[in-house]
Amino acid sequence: KEAKLWGGRFEEGVTDAVERFTESISYDWQLYKYDIMGSKAHATMLAAQGLITTGDRDIIVEGLDQIKRLIQEGKFEWRKDREDVHMNIEAALIERVGEPAKKLHTARSRNDQIVTDLRLWCRDSIDKILIRIKQLQVALVMLASKYVDLIVPGYTHLQRAQPVLLPHLLLSYVEQLERDAGRLVNCRERVNFCPLGACALAGTGLPIDRFKTAKDLKFTAPMKNRQLQVHFSTYSIDAVSDRDFVLEFLAANSIAAVHLSRIGEEWVLWASEEFGFLTPSDSVSTGSSIMPQKKNPDPMELVRGKSARVVGDLMTVLVLCKGLPQAYNRDLQEDKEPLFDSVKAILGMLEVCTEFAQNISFNSKRIQSSLPAGYLDATTLADYLVKKWDTIIVAYNVSLSALQGVPFRTSHEIVGRSVALCTTKNCQLGELKLDDLKAVHPVFESDVYEYLGVENAVNKFISYGSTGSEQVKEQLEDWRIQLGIS
């Protein structure tokens, strides 16, 4: 068996079970690009500080580049007995270039190395997710643009509530995604500080230049950076201790995943025979192994399903961290699989939601024919009455104070009675005769019919951010500009 790089004080090797149990190479090999990037920056800094020669630096950098190529070509052998990505690469480098490679770990510990790798990995992953979020937003805005005038039932409690324009609903997803992106951008700012040079926990007695490595790796600054007065500056112990940046990233992913899950749920529901509001194309549907007629919206069900693992990943790392004393503990090795899993899931979810948005059509006829049901215009009718009271106040010079605070509740009650009448007559509000309405309350006049029916109802919305068609057209145009859609 090969001696461990840390094996100086050991008289015997670890058991096979311990080796299998403690290795992380089976998954942390994915960090190789960042590990090599960090090592190159570290070697360059060591040479600039006179801690190694420029000749050794060149040999190290060249050797690391060769290793990177081998890995990318699939020709590198990852060895479990070498534990993790750091040891695998360092041992391979020593094999290739000999003595100079043994100087690479000067003023460095795996504790600051792993957290540097991880921060670099998170930074890139956030950038990938941000691109996918934008792609989904674009797909949703394009979809909305195809149905500018389509009125759909708006639901609360999954019961018919008020009519809304379809783009208004689709843009609500776009807005949510924008906040998801914002959370990731904020998180990225805090991710982007460099722990390298914190070493095991206490820093080092060697004259390293942490500002140089931080700059080379495109970090904002080293963790702790008093000069820049950043409020989230931290000391070497904190640099190797905390995984709050991982938690924050996982939390942002979880919120985004929950948003996507809700879209998934809505679309699955709308694709059902009962709703029949949308049809996914065959390219984003799957069939049944037994029922020949089936065409299922599986991708969106799995979007809903995968949100569970994203939330679970956050829980795993929260619980992982809660009992740890300060500085590095080996438990922290367990942060990687949930982190990788969360990012993989969220990227897949975003991609599939985008493809779904590009490949569904809304069934305008079916939606329109369903609109008369459910009294979607009832609230608009209550608004009509509120306005009507105003005219009464003016026309009959009724004292304002006598009516203040009463009208909406009164209106609500009157419309409620009108709806009750409809249920006995088995008709819609717009189908009630003026005499019927007047029997409920004499305040109704013939202009009431300008408020009834979903189309009239939608047109009555005027408040900022509402579903009125002017507002929605503006919202859509704003998004098209913001997302660069011509």
Closest CA to 247 of 177, 328, 190, 331: 190
Check residue 63 and report its DSSP letter. Answer: H
Q: What residues are labeled active site? A: 157, 288
For the bound state, the minimum distance from the C-beta of residue 28 to ligand ARG, rounded and expressed in Å, comes to 6
Which one, 240 or 346, has the nearer CB to ligand ARG? 240
Q: Kindly state whether residue 24 participates in binding ligand ARG, applying the rule CB under 6 A.
A: yes
Which one, 337 or 413, has the nearer CB to ligand ARG? 337
Distance CA 230, CA 359 (A): 46
Q: Which of 213, 253, 285, 333 binds ligand ARG (CB under 6 A)?
A: 333
Token reading at 80: 């479990």
Q: Which amino acid is at 95?
A: E
Which one, 87 or 448, has the nearer CB to ligand ARG? 87
Distance CA 125, CA 134 (A): 14
Q: 301: buried, middle or exposed (CB in 10 Å: 19+, 13-18, 0-12)?
A: middle
Token reading at 92: 């391979």
How far from 438 is each of 52, 428, 442, 445, CA to CA, in Å?
95, 16, 4, 8
**What is the β-pairing status of strands 159-165 and 151-156?**
antiparallel
For the bound state, the minimum distance from the C-beta of residue 181 to ligand ARG, rounded and expressed in Å, comes to 29
- Which helix (H) or strand (E) segment holds residue 275: the answer is none
For the bound state, the minimum distance from the C-beta of residue 327 to ligand ARG, rounded and expressed in Å, comes to 10
Which one, 108 or 259, has the nearer CB to ligand ARG? 108
Number of residues that bind ligand ARG (CB under 6 A): 10
Binding mask 303-332 for ligand ARG (x = CB under 6 A): -------------------------x-x-x
For the bound state, the minimum distance from the C-beta of residue 238 to ligand ARG, rounded and expressed in Å, comes to 16
Q: Kindly state whether residue 82 participates in binding ligand ARG, applying the rule CB under 6 A.
A: no
Which one, 246 or 476, has the nearer CB to ligand ARG? 246
Binding mask 26-45 for ligand ARG (x = CB under 6 A): --x-----------------
For the bound state, the minimum distance from the C-beta of residue 121 to ligand ARG, rounded and expressed in Å, comes to 12
Q: Kindly state whether residue 84 participates in binding ligand ARG, applying the rule CB under 6 A.
A: yes
Distance CA 112, CA 343 (A): 22
How far from 246 is each of 118, 241, 338, CA to CA, in Å?
9, 12, 10
Under 8 Å CB-to-CB from 449, ≥6 apart: which residues? 430, 456
For the bound state, the minimum distance from the C-beta of residue 329 to ligand ARG, rounded and expressed in Å, comes to 9
Torsional class of 346: left (φ above 0), alpha (ψ -120 to 50), beta (otherwise): alpha
Long-range pairs of 291-297 with CB within 8 A, sequence gap ≥ 24:
297/267, 297/268, 297/271, 297/356
Binding mask 107-126 for ligand ARG (x = CB under 6 A): ---xx--x------------
Q: Determine the distance from the C-alpha atom of residue 342 to the mean position of all C-alpha atoms in its chain, rounded to a whole number.
A: 10
Q: Please list every residue from 228 through 267 that binds ligand ARG, using CB under 6 A.
A: none
Q: Kindly state whether residue 9 participates in binding ligand ARG, applying the rule CB under 6 A.
A: no
Binding mask 355-394 for ligand ARG (x = CB under 6 A): ----------------------------------------
Residue numbers of the site for ligand ARG (CB under 6 A)?
A: 24, 28, 84, 110-111, 114, 328, 330, 332-333
